[in-house]
Amino acid sequence: MADEPFNVGEALNQFMDKKHLHARYAAIQKEVFEQPDIKDFFQTHKDELSRELVNRDFSVLYEYYTQQKNAAAGKPVVHTGYKPVLALAENRIVIVYQPDEATLAAQRLRMQANLVQSIGMPKLIERARLDDFSEADADRSAAFTAVIAFVSAYIANPKQYHRGLYIHGSYGIGKTHLMGAMANELAQEGIPVTLVHFPSFAVEMRSAIGSKENPQDKINTIKQVPILVLDDIGAESITAWIRDDILGVILEYRMQNELPTFFTSNFSMNQLETEHFTVTKDGAEPVKAERLMQRIRYLAKEIQMAGENRRVID
C-alpha cells in the first residue's frame, strides 16, 4: 500500500493542538503550584522533592488542589468530617485524611462528656461553664473565686492534695451549676470528675438492698473517684445506715487517701450536724454526727453562697 500523502494542514493542526495542550498543562501546573498549602508542602520538603518526583505525582497534587477548591466553594468533600493533607511517604506524594476542626471539636466534647460522670444530676450541668459566673457578682464571688483557685491549683499539681469546698446557701442560687461548670472546666484538661446527687444516690442504695445489685460495688466506685462532688447533701432522708455505712465509709476513704471532695447543701455545716445528722429514727446520736462532720470539715472549706432563686421562671 502506498504511503498516504503528507497533509500539511493536518500536521499543522496537530502541532497547534499539542502546543495548546502543553500551554494549558503548564497553566494548570502553575495554578496548582501556587496553592498556599501546596507551596507550604514544597517548602517543608524542599530537600526531599525533585522535579521528576513532582512531575510523576502531579496527579496527586491536582487531586488535592481540586478537593481544596471544592471545599472552599461549599461543594461535597470526599470524606465528610475529614480534610485532605499532603504527605511524603516512601518517596511518593500522597494524600492522607485527618479530622477537620469541627470533627476534632466534636471528639473533644465527647471526651469531656465521658470524663464528667453523674448520678441523678440535672441535665443543665452538661452546659454549665465558668463563664456563666463573675467575680463582680458579690453574692457568688467567694464561691466562684474559690473554685477558680482550686481548678488552677489542681491542674498545676494534681498529685498534691487540694482541699475541696462545702458550698451552702438557699435553693436555686447556682451551687449545683457552679459545680457542673467546675467539672466541665477540669474535663477540658482531661481530669475526670464525678457528680452525685446524694439524695438520689441514697434512694438507689436503699433500692439495691435485696436486689441483684451489690451496694458495696457502688460505694467502692464512688469513694475512689479522683474528684467527687456530693450535691444537695442534707436533702436525703437520713438513716443511721445511710449516714454511717454509706456516707461515712465514702468520706473516711477519701479523707485517708486525700481525694478532693466537694459538697453543696442548703444547710451550713453546723446545721447539717445538729439538724440533720444527729437525729435518726434510732434516736439522737450526736457523737456519730460529730464524727462524720469531722471528715467533712477535713475534706472541705465552708463557703456561703447567696443570691436570688434563679430557678424561678417569670
Q: Do residues 231 and 121 make contact, with C-beta atoms less than 8 angstroms apart?
A: yes
Pairing of strands 279-280, 164-168: unpaired
Q: What is the pLDDT of residue 275?
A: 92
Q: Do residues 56 and 25 make contact, with C-beta atoms less than 8 angstroms apart?
A: no
The CATH classification of domain 111-304, taken from the options 3.20.20.10, 3.40.50.300, 3.90.580.10, 3.40.50.970: 3.40.50.300
Dist CA 224 CA 308 (whole Å) = 35
Q: What is the pLDDT of residue 7?
A: 45
Q: What is the pLDDT of residue 107?
A: 74
Nine-digit cell at 147?
A: 473554685
pLDDT by 10s per residue, the chain, length 314:
455 554 444 544 554 555 566 777 778 888 888 889 988 988 999 889 888 888 888 888 888 888 888 888 787 777 888 888 899 988 999 989 888 888 777 777 777 767 889 999 998 888 899 998 887 788 889 999 999 999 999 999 999 999 999 999 998 899 999 999 999 999 989 999 999 999 999 999 988 877 777 888 889 999 999 999 999 999 998 899 999 999 999 999 999 999 999 999 999 999 999 999 998 887 888 999 999 999 999 999 999 999 888 765 43
Q: What is the pLDDT of residue 8?
A: 45
Q: What is the pLDDT of residue 209?
A: 78
Q: Where are the domains of the chain?
A: 13-99, 111-304
Radius of gyration of the chain, Cα coordinates, nearest whole angstrom? 33
Q: What is the pLDDT of residue 200?
A: 94
The set of residues, in sequence order, having a beta carbon less than 8 Å from that of 93 and lying 6+ positions away, is 53, 54, 57, 60, 61, 86, 87
